[in-house]
Structure 1
Amino acid sequence: MKHTLMPWERGVVFRHGKLTEVLGPGRHRRGFRHQVRRLDVRPRSQTQGWQDIPTSDGVLIRVTLVLVWSISDPAQYVQAAATPEVELHLLTQIALRTAVLTRAHDEVDQSRETLAAETLASVAPRAADLGIDLREVAVRDVVMPTELRKAALAEILARSEARAALERARGETAALRSLLNAARLAEDHPALLQLRALQTANTVVLERNR
């Protein structure tokens, strides 16, 4: 039988139930007693389902991971586990849970990169035993409970209102300071009031002439 493998494929060959070889890209001829299992060794992205994880302060948060991995050892991949992808999923979920459990709820979102790095460091060696090269782990989503999201939104709104009130107070203070300076100038230099009155009168006369 002829088997043509593409550049991104590998063929794991069994004969009488025993693994005999791993085929690379190209055309191969093997007898009918051989079984060839094709594997795609290109990198693939995998978005894992969300997981509810308790934090160190007892808040249940929802976290989603994204993995990038590829098959590094085809022979190991087909022999180490019945479903290597499921095993990889379980390993990463456990590692993520362990990392989140050591942090308070308000630390998790800002620690995304650290959580991903800890998960990768924990899982990569064990993934290699499955014939998998775990290349990248990223924390995609961190979702807090509804009550905490509402509280955070209220806090942001309160800070915004406080900044607006502060700006208004600064504006009023500046206006009062300007009035105070004008009053002092008028008190120290009475002639300024007469000059101002003359300017106002001239403006009124010009407007009437128009």
Structure 2
Amino acid sequence: IALYYANGIFKEVLLTGRYAFWKGYAQNEFVKADLSKVYITEQIPLALLDNVKLRTYIRRFNVASYEKGLLLVNGTFVKEVTAGAYYFWSNAVAVEIKTIDTRQQQLEISGQELLTKDKAGLRINFFVSYQITNIYKALVNNKDFEKQLYVLMQLALRAFVGNLTLDELLNRKDTIAKEILENVEAKIINLGLIVSDAGIRDVILPGDMKEIMNQVLVAEKKAQANSIMRREETASTRSLLNTAKLMEENEMLWKLKEMEYVEKIADRIGEITISGGGNVINQLKDIFLK
């Protein structure tokens, strides 16, 4: 084809044939383009490549700002491309740009029914945050890398949980993800990925197991409460014993303690009614005047 310009303005695309133009009427310019090539090497302004008259002869690929791509010509990898618009001549040669999202993504591995070492059945919801670092490995060396990551983490989780008892699993719930990732790190790198975070979101016990765990928890709390009560009772008895020893050795301390209790009794009595020979008054005098 030839791109026809008149006075520097693009007019039309000329196909194979013979064309005649008046001399001197306008400044005519022509840019010939070889459509059998893949790459556009001719000096054609970028804005013109999207012109409706030229669009029929051009293939355009867009790579978003958060993507990277692989340029394949006739199925052969040529190079890695970054964000932008890419133009090629439209012909029989197969040209493709495979794009992939390079942002951090999250994979959910939910509802995994597993057996612990002590044969306790449970369901686990697991998540993995990953990012693509090598798009050639992810797109060319591996097929469905996300499915492979899912199966890889699923098997690693199953194997790891199978080697722990239920109590060990619950105690190490926050560190299990790190240990699992260390075991499969090399395989994840072979997928062209890097995992930045992973963890157990939920550990779901069956109804009967949950009831048993609640009973165990209640029993443990009761035992702790009984232990604390016994400890407090022992401390209180020891304190009373020490006080009794001091009072036995010091008559004045005994008298002060006696007066303290009389004062407490007096606070709770509104009035005193005496019947008989007044022995109560004499007894009170005896208490306060000794």
> Which position in structure 1 is the counterpart of 2:79?
21
User: Given the alignment of the two structures, is residue 7 of structure 1 paired with residue 61 of structure 2, yes or no?
Assistant: no
> Which position in structure 2 is the counterpart of 1:117?
178
Which amino acid is 1:76 matched to? K
Q: Sort the Cα spacing of 1:201 and 1:136 in 2 relative to 1 into closer, same or farther, 3 A.
A: closer
> Which position in structure 1 is the counterpart of 2:123?
62
C-alpha deviation, 1:165, in angstroms: 4.4
| Matching of residues 78-117 of structure 1 within 5 Å | 78-117=139-178
Larger relative contact order (C-alpha < 8 A, sep ≥ 6)? 1
Q: Sort the Cα spacing of 1:134 and 1:172 in 2 relative to 1 into closer, same or farther, 3 A.
A: closer
CA contact under 8 A between 1:61 and 1:105: conserved in structure 2? Answer: no
C-alpha deviation, 1:51, in angstroms: 1.2
C-alpha deviation, 1:15, in angstroms: 1.9
C-alpha deviation, 1:118, in angstroms: 2.8
CA contact under 8 A between 1:9 and 1:24: conserved in structure 2? Answer: yes
| Matching of residues 89-168 of structure 1 within 5 Å | 89-166=150-227
C-alpha deviation, 1:163, in angstroms: 4.0
| TM-score (ref. length: structure 2) | 0.58
Shifted more, 92-101 versus 156-165: the winner is: 156-165
Say which of 93, 117, 137 aligns to 1:76: 137
> Matched residues, percent identical?
20
Which amino acid is 1:17 matched to? G
Structure with more of its chain in helix, by fraction = 1
Partner deviation per Cα, 1:133-173 (whole Å, 9 max, x = no partner) = 23332222223333332222112222333444455566667
Equivalent-residue separation in structure 1 for 2:242 and 2:60 (angstroms):
98
**Structure whose alpha-carbon radius of gyration is higher:** 2
Equivalent-residue separation in structure 2 for 1:40 and 1:172 (angstroms):
67
